[in-house]
Amino acid sequence: MRVSKYFLPTLKETPSEAQIASHRLMLRAGMVRQEAAGIYSWLPLGFKVLQNIEQIVREEQNRAGAVEMLMPTIQPAELWKESGRYDAYGKEMLRITDRHKREMLYGPTNEEMLTAIFRTFCRSYKDLPKLLYHIQWKFRDEVRPRFGVMRGREFLMKDTYSFDVDEAAARRSYNRMFIAYLNTFARMGLKAVPMRAETGPIGGDLSHEFIILADTGESAVFCHKDLVDMPAPGLDVDFDGDLQPLVDERTALYAATEDVHDEAVFMEVPEDKRLSARGIEVGQVFYFGTKYSAPMRANVTLADGSEQPVHMGSYGVGVSRIAGAIIEASHDEDGIIWPMAIAPFKVGIINLRQGDEATGAACEEAYAALVKAGLDPLYDDSENRAGAKFSRMDLIGLPWQLIIGPRGLKEGTVEIKERASGERQNLSLDAALNLLRSKNVSAI
C-alpha cells in the first residue's frame, strides 16, 4: 500500500478528550474517529488491526473445536422476556421499536438467541456437546463510556456458547475455552492472567476473567506473580484430550479480581510473590448451568428417556477492546509499538527524498521485493519531509521500517529500523530484505 493512495489521517496534536495513552494514540494514528459517546468509526488502519485481532480469535476458536456462525445485532424482545432478563437488564439495553410497534433491542449479548436456536434443532443428548460462536457488534448503553474503544457502548465481541449434557461435560467445554483464550492472547503478544471473577448479570457459579496487567486498567486485581509469566499451553494442545491438568496448573495459584478478592487467602501467598495491580479485562468465561435453558425450555432427551435442560456456558472476548489493550501494553512516547501478529502492516518504507530519481527507484525496488515476498508494506511516498515521515512511521508503530535516502544510497545502503528496540542498521537492500526474512516477518 502506498501512503499516497491510502487514507491515513494522522494528527499532530492530541484531541483534548483523550486521556489515556491508547485512546490518544488511536486518534493520533488515524485508527478511529468518535461519532458519539462510546461509538467509533474504524478508519482503515484501525480496521486492519481489528481484523487481525478478530482473525487470531477466530483461528483459536476453530482450533478448540468451536463452530462459527453469525447472529443479528437486532433481536426481538420476546426472547428476553422468556429468560426474564428483559426487565432485569435495565437501562443498559438499547430498546428499539420498529414501525409495527414491535419491541426490539440491540443485542448486548446473545445467550437467549442461541438458546432459542439450540432448542429448535437439538433435542437429544446425541446432539451434544456443541460449541458455537460468532463475532458480532454489541451495544450496551453504558452510563459513562470512556477510554476510547476500551469502554465503548458499541463494541465488537466474540461470544461462544457451550451446550452439554451435564455439569462434568460442561466443564470440559469450559476448559476448552479457557485454554483457547490463553493461546489467543499469547499469539497477540499479550500476557493474560486468568483470575477468579464474579459472574455478574450473565449468572452462574464458575467464572474466570482474563486480565492484562496495565496501570490504566479499570479493575484492581490480586495474584501470585508466577502466573504472569506462565507460558501459554501452546497451539499443539490436544483439545479432545484431558485439559483439566492444564487448567488446574493455572488456577492453583491465587488470582482474583477485586470483586471476589479474599485478603486473608491472598496473605497466604509468600510476600515476594504477591502482586496487587490494575488490569484490563479482555475475556471472560462462564459456566451457568441451566440458567437460560430451564426457563426457555431448551431440553434434551437423555439415554434413559428423561428430559433435562441443557447445561450451558458462555465465553466472551472483547475484540475491539483488545485493540486498545494492546496499545496500553505496548507503546512509548513516540507512538504505538505493534506486536508482529497485530501490526496493520509489517514493514514501512520511508522515502526520504521524494522526487529524487535514484531514491524513488530504490524504494520501488524494495516495495516490489516485499510484495513478491507476500507482504503488504506501507510505502510512505507522500510529499512530506523526512522528519514528518519518521515521526508518523513511529506513531503508527509498524514493527520494521526501511528508510531509504540519497545519503545511504551513495554508500549502497538503506537503513533498517526495528520499532520495538529502536535498533538501526545500514545494510544493502538485499541484506535488509534477508534480515526481515530471518526475523520471520510475515502475514499472520
Partner RNA sequence: CGGGGAGUGGCGCAGCCUGGUAGCGCAUCUGCUUUGGGAGCAGAGGGUCGCAAGUUCGAAUCUUGUCUCCCCGACCA
- For residue 395, state whether it binds RNA (rule: CB under 7 A): yes
Q: Which three cell numbers stand for residue 363?
A: 524504494
The span from the first CA to the last CA of the chain, in angstroms, equals 17
Of the candidate residues 366, 403, 416, 427, the single one contacting RNA (CB under 7 A) = 403
Q: Nearest Cα to 224, choosing from 279, 285, 276? A: 276
Q: Cβ(309)–Cβ(293) under 8 Å?
A: yes
Distance CA 1, CA 28 (A): 20
Q: How far is the CB of 191 from RNA (least distance, A)?
A: 17
- For residue 175, state whether it binds RNA (rule: CB under 7 A): no
Bridge partners for 224 per DSSP: 274
Stretch of residues binding RNA (CB under 7 A), selected from 70-78, 98-106, 196-204, 261-269: 196-204
- For residue 145, state whether it binds RNA (rule: CB under 7 A): yes
The residues in 48-107 that bind RNA, with binding defined as CB under 7 A, are: none
Of the candidate residues 61, 160, 284, 290, the single one contacting RNA (CB under 7 A) = 284
Residues touching RNA, count (CB under 7 A): 67
Q: Nearest Cα to 197, choosing from 315, 321, 312, 64? A: 315
Which residue is it, cell 414501525? 99
CA atoms within 13 A on the CB side of 37: 7
Q: Nearest Cα to 180, choosing from 238, 119, 249, 256? A: 238
**33-64 exposure pattern, b = at least 16 Cβ within 10 A, e = fewer:** ebeeebebebbebbebbbebbbebbbbbbebb
Of the candidate residues 96, 230, 388, 444, the single one contacting RNA (CB under 7 A) = 388
- For residue 437, state whether it binds RNA (rule: CB under 7 A): no
Is the alpha carbon torsion for 167, 172, 175, 177 positive or negative?
negative
User: Tell me, what DSSP letter sits at residue 144?
Assistant: S
Q: How far is the CB of 105 from RNA (least distance, A)?
A: 15
- For residue 10, state whether it binds RNA (rule: CB under 7 A): yes
| Burial environment of residue 111 by CB neighbours within 10 A (0 to 12, 13 to 18, 19 or more) | buried
Q: Nearest Cα to 405, choosing from 356, 365, 366, 369? A: 356
Binding flags for RNA, 414-433, as an x/- string (CB under 7 A): -x-x------x---------
Of the candidate residues 22, 320, 330, 351, the single one contacting RNA (CB under 7 A) = 320
- For residue 124, state whether it binds RNA (rule: CB under 7 A): no
Strand 400-404 and strand 347-351: the pairing is parallel
Of the candidate residues 265, 407, 431, 434, the single one contacting RNA (CB under 7 A) = 407
Coil, helix or strand at residue 64? coil
- For residue 217, state whether it binds RNA (rule: CB under 7 A): no
- For residue 412, state whether it binds RNA (rule: CB under 7 A): no
Binding flags for RNA, 368-387, as an x/- string (CB under 7 A): ----------------xxxx
Of 36 and 74, which has the nearer Cβ to RNA?
36
The residues in 344-363 that bind RNA, with binding defined as CB under 7 A, are: 352-355
Find how far residue 362's CA is from the centre of its chain: 37
Q: How many helical (H) and strand (E) elements, i.e. helices and strands, does the chain have?
A: 13, 23
Of the candidate residues 394, 398, 427, 429, the single one contacting RNA (CB under 7 A) = 394
Within 10 A of 126 (CB to CB), how many other CB atoms are there? 11
| Burial environment of residue 265 by CB neighbours within 10 A (0 to 12, 13 to 18, 19 or more) | exposed
Stretch of residues binding RNA (CB under 7 A), selected from 93-101, 137-145, 244-252, 293-301: 137-145
Of the candidate residues 46, 152, 233, 397, the single one contacting RNA (CB under 7 A) = 152
Of 78 and 430, which has the nearer Cβ to RNA?
430
- For residue 166, state whether it binds RNA (rule: CB under 7 A): no
Stretch of residues binding RNA (CB under 7 A), selected from 76-84, 239-247, 339-347, 404-412: 404-412
- For residue 242, state whether it binds RNA (rule: CB under 7 A): no
- For residue 279, state whether it binds RNA (rule: CB under 7 A): no
Site for RNA, rule CB under 7 A: 10-17, 19, 28, 34, 36-38, 140, 142-147, 150-153, 155, 157, 198, 200-202, 209, 218-219, 281-284, 316-318, 320-321, 334, 352-355, 384-388, 390-392, 394-395, 403, 405-409, 415, 417, 424
